[in-house]
């Protein structure tokens, strides 16, 4: 380290207490590929200087949480003030680089809406150090970052893998406010970030040529005390999306692979042709009887529904839980914002029709996102307006009351129960005037082909009945009629 240590031991890896810590949301190609989205420009969030910790310390995983994740990062320490500097001059304002660990608690992420105030602002959530590397001796295009968990190398990348060069981050931020001496910029994490549990030790090292930050060591410990107080703020809440992003992949989180939100054009066309009654019959022959979402009817007569499930779950209203989960960017809004083209939002409302589970604004949002439809075993508000939106909606009925009369929006993208049947994300959903049916994605191709074959057979039988033949022996076909049918097909 090239400067005297700050009096407070938390800042021993820095020249002093930073005035600002600015972190990048997504900046590495490997991480963007893992997340399935690549930003066109960098975006940021602030972390408080009270979150800084020194090497060799501990981080608590709070009581009642499960998704504490590490993120090894390169930290830039500003040496001279920068305001509206160019990319060509930006690096001159960086005095040192060092190792950082941008810890995050995904249990608290949803209600932060990208600010990460609660999820990444906790005490000890920004370890830095232990040593500073002189930025004047560094080629910013050739800096290496490595992270180990319990001695195993889990992240190994370099600034060559950045979407946005280090100098661009300095120049961009200086457009908006003055970067002051001692401010810290966290340059983002590559793929490999994942969940750690009490007892795990995380080490991060930054190297440039022959210089090293040394290994930044942090040990995870279990939190103590009563946990979070619902009377003053949001409680921790997790769903499968948060688990997948915290662990890095669905597989690492122990979740089943996604089947993808889009059906092939050929399969969708087949499903649009076949009746739900025919699908029910074929599923029954395969031992699947409990696959109908009962009690729902289309708002638009004649509407055909075909898509894959995106799930949303409501729990019975409890005033304290609605206070913590019902407002803000709740699970209902997140589900409607996240639905993809060709997906069907399926809502578990326990068959409770005493309030609406969506209205026209959310129906418009789903249509704009390209959703194939909505199924709810609860009520719909603004039923005429929802109908006019034009997206297929199947519901148990209309009701004028708002959501909070009966429901709390709790979580999404998980296995739910709707209309008496189990629905998982990625299940194939088909609806017509007879109702809505759920098809496991692994057998949908064989089922729809079997229905089409049965439809051809039934059409031939119907033609024979219309000619005056009795149904006995024809429906179902005996051996004689079967031979006649096969001959006609040939």
pLDDT tens-digit profile of 294-313?
999 999 888 899 999 999 99
* Residue 484 placed within a domain: no
Mean pLDDT of 184-193: 96
pLDDT in tens, 233-261: 777 888 888 888 899 888 888 876 665 55
In this structure, of 12-21, 393-402, 472-481, the range with the lowest mean pLDDT score is 472-481
In this structure, of 139-143, 321-325, 411-415, 454-458, the range with the lowest mean pLDDT score is 454-458
Q: How far, in Å, CA of 348 to CA of 135, rounded?
A: 55
Spatial contact of 238 and 64, defined as CB atoms under 8 Å apart: no
Joined tokens for residue 356: 């609406």
Spatial contact of 154 and 147, defined as CB atoms under 8 Å apart: yes
How many other β-carbons are positioned within 10 Å of the β-carbon of residue 23? 24
Pick from 71, 150, 55, 161: nearest CA to 109 = 71
Joined tokens for residue 204: 């991060």
* Residue 372 placed within a domain: yes
How many other β-carbons are positioned within 10 Å of the β-carbon of residue 207? 19
Strand, coil or helix: 391:
coil
Structural element, H or E, at residue 483: helix 479-489
pLDDT of residue 329: 85
What's 439's domain CATH number? 3.50.30.40
* Residue 458 placed within a domain: no
Residues 271 and 216 in one domain: no
pLDDT of residue 74: 97
Domain-terminating residue out of 187, 216, 247: 247
pLDDT in tens, 49-89: 999 999 999 999 999 899 999 999 999 999 999 999 999 99
Structural element, H or E, at residue 292: strand 292-293
Residues 153 and 276 in one domain: no
pLDDT of residue 7: 52
Residues 232 and 291 in one domain: no
Q: How far, in Å, CA of 320 to CA of 230, rounded?
A: 7
* Residue 111 placed within a domain: yes
Residues 23 and 107 in one domain: yes
Residues 441 and 314 in one domain: yes
Looking at the DSSP bridge assignments, the partners of residue 307 are 429
Domain range enclosing 25: 9-247
Looking at the DSSP bridge assignments, the partners of residue 306 are 430
Mean pLDDT of 175-199: 96
What phi and psi, each to the nearest 5 degrees, are found at residue 334?
-65, -40
Reported as a pLDDT band with limits 50, 70 and 90, residue 163 is very high
pLDDT of residue 232: 79
Is residue 258 packed enough to be buried (19+ CB in 10 Å), middle (13-18) or exposed (0-12)?
A: middle
pLDDT of residue 258: 62
* Residue 37 placed within a domain: yes
Residues 392 and 300 in one domain: yes
Is residue 41 packed enough to be buried (19+ CB in 10 Å), middle (13-18) or exposed (0-12)?
A: exposed
Q: How far, in Å, CA of 452 to CA of 459, rounded?
A: 11
Q: What angle do CA 111, 245, 238 make, to 5 degrees?
A: 45
Cis peptide before 130, with omega less than 30 degrees from 0? Answer: yes
Mean pLDDT of 185-197: 96
Domain-terminating residue out of 247, 276, 301: 247
pLDDT of residue 324: 84
pLDDT in tens, 340-392: 999 999 999 999 999 999 999 999 999 999 999 999 999 999 999 999 999 99
- Give me the chain's average pLDDT, please: 91
Residues 238 and 326 in one domain: no
Mean pLDDT of 154-159: 96
Residues 63 and 209 in one domain: yes
What's 162's domain CATH number? 3.90.850.10
pLDDT of 4 > 60? The answer is no
- The larger pLDDT score, comparing residue 482 to residue 9, is at 9
| Residue-by-residue DSSP string for 200-263 | -EEEEEEEETTEE---EEEEEEE--SS---TTTSPPP---HHHHHHHHSSTTTTTPPPP--S--
Question: Model-level pTM greater than 0.75?
Answer: no
Mean pLDDT of 35-50: 91
Mean pLDDT of 99-109: 94
pLDDT of 262 > 80? The answer is no
Residues 320 and 223 in one domain: no
* Residue 235 placed within a domain: yes
- The structural domain count of the chain equals 2
Residues 304 and 205 in one domain: no
Residues 160 and 103 in one domain: yes
pLDDT of 421 > 70? The answer is yes
pLDDT of 6 > 50? The answer is no
pLDDT of residue 464: 85
Joined tokens for residue 371: 């959703």
Residues 421 and 329 in one domain: yes
Q: How far, in Å, CA of 272 to CA of 264, rounded?
A: 12
What phi and psi, each to the nearest 5 degrees, are found at residue 83?
-140, 120
pLDDT in tens, 204-233: 999 999 999 999 999 999 988 877 887 777
* Residue 2 placed within a domain: no
Reported as a pLDDT band with limits 50, 70 and 90, residue 2 is very low
Reported as a pLDDT band with limits 50, 70 and 90, residue 3 is very low
* Residue 254 placed within a domain: no
């Amino acid at each position: 380290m090239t400067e005297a240590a700050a009096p407070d031991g938390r800042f021993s890896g820095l020249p002093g207490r930073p005035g600002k810590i600015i972190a990048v949301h997504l900046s590495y190609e490997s991480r963007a590929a893992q997340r399935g989205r690549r930003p066109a420009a960098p975006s940021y969030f602030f972390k408080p200087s009270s979150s800084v910790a020194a090497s060799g310390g501990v981080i608590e995983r709070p009581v009642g949480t499960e998704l504490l994740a590490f993120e090894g990062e390169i930290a830039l320490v500003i040496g001279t003030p920068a305001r509206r500097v160019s990319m060509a001059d930006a690096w001159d304002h960086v005095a040192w680089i060092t190792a950082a660990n941008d810890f995050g608690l995904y249990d608290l992420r949803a209600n932060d809406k990208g600010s990460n105030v609660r999820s990444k602002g906790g005490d000890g959530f920004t370890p830095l150090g232990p040593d500073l590397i002189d930025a004047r001796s560094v080629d910013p295009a050739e800096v290496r970052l490595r992270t180990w968990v319990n001695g195993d190398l889990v992240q190994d990348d370099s600034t060559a893998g950045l979407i946005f060069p280090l100098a661009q981050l300095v120049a961009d931020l200086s457009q908006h406010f003055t970067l002051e001496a001692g401010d810290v910029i966290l340059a983002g994490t590559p793929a490999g970030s994942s969940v750690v549990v009490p007892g795990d030790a995380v080490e991060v090292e930054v190297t440039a040529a022959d210089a090293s930050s040394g290994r930044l060591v942090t040990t995870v410990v279990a939190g103590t005390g009563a946990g979070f107080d619902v009377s003053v703020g949001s409680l921790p809440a997790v769903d499968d999306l948060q688990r997948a992003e915290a662990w890095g992949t669905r597989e690492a989180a122990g979740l089943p692979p996604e089947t993808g939100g889009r059906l092939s054009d050929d399969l969708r066309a087949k499903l649009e042709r076949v009746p739900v009654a025919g699908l029910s019959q074929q599923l029954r022959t395969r031992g699947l009887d409990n696959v109908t979402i009962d009690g729902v009817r289309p708002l638009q007569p004649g509407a055909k529904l075909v898509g894959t499930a995106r799930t949303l779950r409501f729990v019975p209203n409890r005033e304290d839980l609605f206070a913590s989960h019902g407002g803000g960017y709740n699970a209902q809004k997140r589900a409607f914002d996240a639905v993809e083209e060709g997906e069907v939002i399926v809502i578990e409302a326990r068959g409770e029709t005493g309030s609406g589970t969506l209205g026209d604004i959310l129906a418009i949002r789903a249509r704009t996102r390209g959703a194939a439809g909505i199924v709810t075993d609860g009520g719909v508000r603004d039923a005429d307006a929802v109908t006019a939106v034009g997206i297929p909606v199947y519901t148990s009925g209309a009701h004028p009351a708002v959501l909070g009369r009966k429901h709390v929006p709790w979580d999404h993208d998980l296995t739910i129960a709707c209309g008496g049947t189990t629905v998982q994300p990625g299940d194939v959903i088909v609806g017509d005037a007879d109702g809505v049916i759920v098809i496991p994605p692994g057998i949908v191709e064989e089922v729809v082909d079997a229905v089409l074959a049965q439809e051809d057979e039934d059409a031939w039988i119907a033609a024979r009945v219309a000619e005056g033949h009795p149904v006995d022996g024809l429906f179902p076909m005996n051996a004689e009629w079967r031979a006649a049918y096969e001959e006609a097909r040939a």
